[in-house]
Structure 1
Amino acid sequence: MRHLFISFLCLASFGLHAQFGKNCELRQWKINLVNPGLEYELGIGVNQTLNVRVAWQLALDPVLQNPYEELTFFPALTLQTRFYHNFEQRGRNGRQIYGNSANYMAPTIALFSPDARLIAGELVDGVHGYGGLVYGLQRSYNSGFSFSVDAGAAYYVGPFENGIYPVVNFSLGWIVSEKRWCVGR
């Protein structure tokens, strides 16, 4: 038991050491035009951020008989913990990393709060959501223009038969406020 505790302390100290210095922005606010809303990204580690998006988001409606045929806009709250993996490589190649311009993997969750709607003669009401994993990229430019796209799969739950469906998020907009910390260009 004591060896396990000492091993845990050693691993924890390596994790704490890795948190000094950051490659990603400390924080930034963005306006999203494709899914109208606001996005906030907070640097929480060397190459890690917490991304929160509140938007009118284009999404699948899993209640439909064939949810892939019709996309709908729903009010949504989306949370991602992004692990950026290529800041160093982009920096070595002379590419900028401003605005967290890099590729990432992210566990993601989203909650949708649609109004009551009539589907196949039945009234459907209630919040639904998903939890899953996505891979994506984000690029930002000195003008403030920013876009990101990610895709993956998630388990959807709500007032319908739960199941695994694809997830695709696209953001296009501008960085309106930032606190720079990134060490790259």
Structure 2
Amino acid sequence: MKRTMLFICSLITVTLFSQEKQTESVWRINFLNPGIEYEMPTGNKSTLSVGLGIGYSGSYPHSSASDVDTGLVYAINPFVDIQYKWFYNFDKRKIKGLNTTTNSGNFVSVRVLTRGKTLFGDDVVTDKLDFAVGPTWGIQRKHGKNFHMLFDMGPIYYFDVDGGHGFFPLMLQLNLGFDL
């Protein structure tokens, strides 16, 4: 039994340490929603991304201002955006000769978005903080020397410190910027 356990542990160790590192650490500056982001590897095909900035956001149903009838409710808020990403197509991209640097690939993730007090806009989102949590599917690509593009989407559950909450069927994110 001891030999079997030793063999299994050795096999797992050799397998883990012999795999090619596929994810990379990268700093980014995003200009569509101005901010800075750091993406760090947490595994062979997974990363943790943390972004800080000030950006455009729509309103959640519980927070829309009742006297606004423009059809488009928006706000500019400070935000913290955290995503744990699992990349699933690095090997396929490498076989096709496509770029995988700075984590260029397709992913599924768990995303947590925190927004602060509305700076300006036609929506009073909150006087304090609100949060959104949910799974996403997305793609991110590096084009040229250091241009970065990320798109992801997924359903979210949102809540705020005042007790407002609900489910929103589709949250979209588009980031354009530069890898440093």
TM-score (norm. length: structure 1):
0.78
Question: Alpha carbon RMSD of aligned pairs, Å?
Answer: 3.2
Structure-2 residue corresponding to 1:31: 29
- Residue 69 (structure 1) shift: 2.9
Q: Which structure has more RCO (C-alpha within 8 Å, separation ≥ 6)?
A: 1
Unaligned stretches of 5+ in structure 1? 1-6, 177-185
Which residue in the other structure is 1:172 paired with? 176
* Secondary structure in 1 matching 2:93: helix
CA contact (8 A) 1:116 1:125 kept: no
Q: Aligned partners of 1:150, 1:127: CA distance in 2, in Å?
A: 23
Q: SS state of the match for residue 101, structure 2?
A: coil
What per-residue deviation string (whole Å, max 9, x for no partner) do you get for residues 136-178 of structure 1?
Answer: 00001341111100000110001363111121111101011xx
Aligned counterparts of 1:73 and 1:15: Cα–Cα separation in 2: 48
**How big is each residue's C-alpha offset from its partner over 1:61-104, in whole Å with a ceiling of 9 and x where there is no partner?**
22005898312221000100000000000000111101111000
Deviation at 1:17, TM superposition (A): 4.4
Distance of aligned partners of 1:18 and 1:167 in 2 relative to their CA distance in 1, 3 Å threshold: farther
Give the match for residue 64 of structure 1: 64
Q: Show the 5 A alignment for 1:43-82.
A: 43-62=41-60, 63-64=63-64, 69-82=72-85
Contact persistence 1:55–1:75 (CA under 8 A): yes
1:107-154 residue CA offsets vs partner (Å, 9 max, x unmatched): 01011111488989x995111011101100000134111110000011
Q: Aligned to 1:98, which of 92, 96, 101?
A: 101
**Contact 1:111/1:129 (CA < 8 Å) preserved in 2?**
yes
Residue in structure 1 matched with residue 136 of structure 2 by the alignment: 134
The alpha-carbon distance between structure 1 residues 32 and 117, as it changes in their structure 2 partners (threshold 3 A), is closer
Cα distance in 2 for residues equivalent to 1:123 and 1:49? 30
Which residue of structure 2 aligns with residue 21 of structure 1?
20
- 1:57 Cα deviation from its structure 2 partner: 2.3
Cα 1:61–1:142 change in 2 (3 A) is: same
* 1:155 to 1:100, Cα distance in 2 relative to 1, 3 A: same
Report which stretch shifted further, 161-170 or 82-91: 161-170
C-alpha distance in structure 1 between counterparts of 2:74 and 2:163, whole Å:
16
Q: Return the alpha-carbon distance in structure 1 between the equivalents of residues 92 and 151 of structure 2.
A: 20
Distance in 1, matches of 2:144 and 2:155, equals 32
State the percentage of identical aligned residues: 22
Give the Cα separation in 1 of the matches to 2:72 and 2:13.
45
Instruction: Quickly say closer, same or farther: Cα 1:96–1:28, change in 2 above 3 A.
Output: same
- Could you list the runs of 5+ residues in structure 2 that have no partner in the other structure? none
TM-score by length of structure 2 reads 0.80
